[in-house]
Amino acid sequence: MEPIIKNKTINNIKIHYPPSPRLSSGNPQLPASPKLMPHPVSPRLNSQFPASPRLGSQFPASPRLGSQFPSSPRVHHPQHQLLLHHQNPASPRLSSQHVQPSPRLNSQHIIHSPRLTSQFPVSPRLSSQHPPSPKLHPQFLSPPKPHLQHSPLLKSQPIQQSKSSSNLQIQSEELANQIATAVKYQEFQEDFPNSLKRTLWNSVQFAHRHKLIERSAYQERLIIPLAKTAVFDIYNQYLASRVYDGAQFERSVDLKLLAFNHKCLYYKYALDVILDCKELISVGGNKFECPHLMGDPAFGMMELTKALLKQPLPLESEGPPQPMIIGNKFFEIDNLNWLFYRRSYLKIRNLKKLIEAPRGGKVFSIAEASDQALTEMIHRVGMWATGAATAFIEWNVFSKLLERYNQFVYPIPRLIFLDAMVKIHSDLGWMISNRLIQDQFGVSIPFMISDICQMLAPVSIAIIKTYNIKPTSIQQQP
């Protein structure tokens, strides 16, 4: 069949087009299309050519398809002869001559577990011909482990330890407790006081820059926090010295309880002062540095309250306290210490009476009650329990400061006295109702606080500089 030639006339010239290679493959003069001409077929379609390892049976098969041929050409490539040995005829995965049986399938290579007997080396999950697992059959229960045979829980007689080992254990426990307390106190020492002092620094600088320190309202809101911070820091130094020396407090109160509860009071005070200073200076936007307390404050107050309730009160034999009629000597520092002690004593005694009051014909005994029952009773009178613990801590702080009162230089004694007046003023109604102080002294306390703040306002910059805190920049109002 002759090819069909298409003719086309353009400007009286006939143009002959050869047939398309796609339409004709029989013209010997014209090359046919590669798709229609006899052409060497692809290795995937013609078996005359070396077939693919996956499709051709004449070519060396892949290790995955046959074990009678050598391995894949990729494996025997000259570049890979260093990786696999050329004498290995089959794939390592399929050849039984070169594969080591798995311990789970070959009983000759199984290392028996102590839970399985020697009669059944194969796993119970792989063979149904063997008995079930020893865990389900009582006669195959394994013996106890070697390290448990010497445990005192498995013997009726306890293990006797030598005196030297027991003493060493007690010393190590005491050392661990001291180290833990010191580490926790070091964390407390470097935690929120820095953010509090930076806030006070910025607030005092702002008040002096804008002449606000001359107003009595600003004086009380800034000088009182300076006094409280100084008292907290001085007591922190005392706590740090006692913690690192390993000593204990008087009145059988644990050192860790006092240190942690003092930290809780310091934390609450720091938050109040930071928020008040932020409201006072009204600059810097809504951002402020907020400290974070590690631990549960309620747990520390609970444990301290339990310790105070279980110990005897030394003033119980003296009868009810009498009012302090001492005239103008009321504001002496020794009399203030006695006032704080009687306040702490009365609050603890009232808390004991409140807990042991009969309810429904039953009397609750603190000495005979369990720890859980005492905790539940303290939760019922939570506000009074917190007040008693706080009063005891404040008396302890003031008494320790009084021991070094003569060693302090101006204006530290004024700061300590101002802090004492503020604490009395915060609990003034309770003290007057319990006849601890007279009405005439209670009326004069607010004026005393205002006068001391006015005296300390000019030296507030010098006081804040003693904190040795690097100030942070604050945004000024336009």
- The C-alpha atoms of residue 307 and residue 314 are separated, in whole angstroms, by 15
pLDDT tens figures, 434-450: 888 888 788 888 898 99
Q: Is the peptide bond before 312 cis (omega within 30 degrees of 0)?
A: no
- Would 160 be classed as within a structural domain? no
Residue 384, pLDDT > 80, answer yes
Q: What are the tens digits of pLDDT across the range 249-295? A: 444 456 777 777 777 788 888 888 888 888 877 655 566 666 666 55
Handedness of CA 133, 136, 139, 142 (dihedral sign): positive
The CA distance from 37 to 315, in Å, is 122
State yes or no: pLDDT of 414 exceeds 80.
yes
Per residue in 150-205, pLDDT (tens digit) is 333 333 333 344 444 444 444 555 555 555 555 555 554 555 577 788 888 888 88
What average pLDDT score do residues 393-400 get?
88
User: pLDDT exceeding 70 applies to what percent of the chain?
Assistant: 46
- pLDDT value of position 89: 46
| pLDDT band at residue 422 under the 50/70/90 scheme | very high
Q: Is 83 a member of any domain?
A: no
- Residue 111 within any structural domain of the chain: no
Q: Is residue 192 part of a domain?
A: yes
Q: 366 in a domain, yes or no?
A: yes
Q: How many CA atoms lie within 13 A of 129 on its CB side?
A: 4
Asked if the structure places residue 167 within a domain, the reply is no
Domain count within the chain = 1
Instruction: Judge whether 72 lies within some domain.
Output: no
Across the chain, mean pLDDT equals 65
Q: Is the pLDDT of residue 459 over 70?
A: yes
3-class DSSP state for residue 170? helix
Cβ neighbours, 10 Å, residue 228: 22
Q: Is the pLDDT of residue 26 over 70?
A: no
Q: Record the pTM.
A: 0.56
Task: Answer whether residue 66 shows pLDDT above 50.
Answer: no
Domain for residue 176, yes or no? no
Continuous segment of H or E residues that includes residue 14? strand 13-17
**Per-residue confidence (pLDDT) for residue 442, from 0 to 100:** 82
Quote the domain boundaries for residue 433: 182-465
